[in-house]
Amino acid sequence: MTYEVVWTDEALAAAGALMADDPAGLAAVFDAVDDLSAEPRPPAAFAWGSTAFLRLRVGRYRVLYEVDEELVRIGVIHLGRRGGDPP
């Protein structure tokens, strides 16, 4: 089964803000998100608190998303950097 991946406006804005700063990191995020269409709940994904969101770490970033029937919604994409200075 293939899932449709949909990005919210907020998620696209967060990703766009990283374009100039870290294009390689952003490319890795897009690759990981594309992989969610085939496997929306990979072993590396974890529940995010008590919400319906899952969290997937991609390098120094985290992607928050939810799975609904045949849809993967990249909602509150929290491309938050883990510790340290920007790359």
**What type of residue sits at position 37?**
S
The tally of domains found in the chain comes to 1
Alpha carbon distance 17, 31 (integer Å): 17
Q: State which residues form the domain around 51.
A: 4-74
| CATH code, domain with 60 | 3.30.2310.20
pLDDT digit string, tens, across residues 15-44: 888 888 889 988 999 999 999 999 999 999
Q: What is the pLDDT of residue 74?
A: 87
For 50-70, what is the mean pLDDT? Answer: 88
Is the predicted pLDDT of residue 70 greater than 70, yes or no?
yes
CB atoms within 10 A of CB 41: 12
> What pLDDT is recorded for position 78?
59
The answer as to whether 81 is a domain residue is no
- Cα 26 to its chain centre, rounded Å, is 10
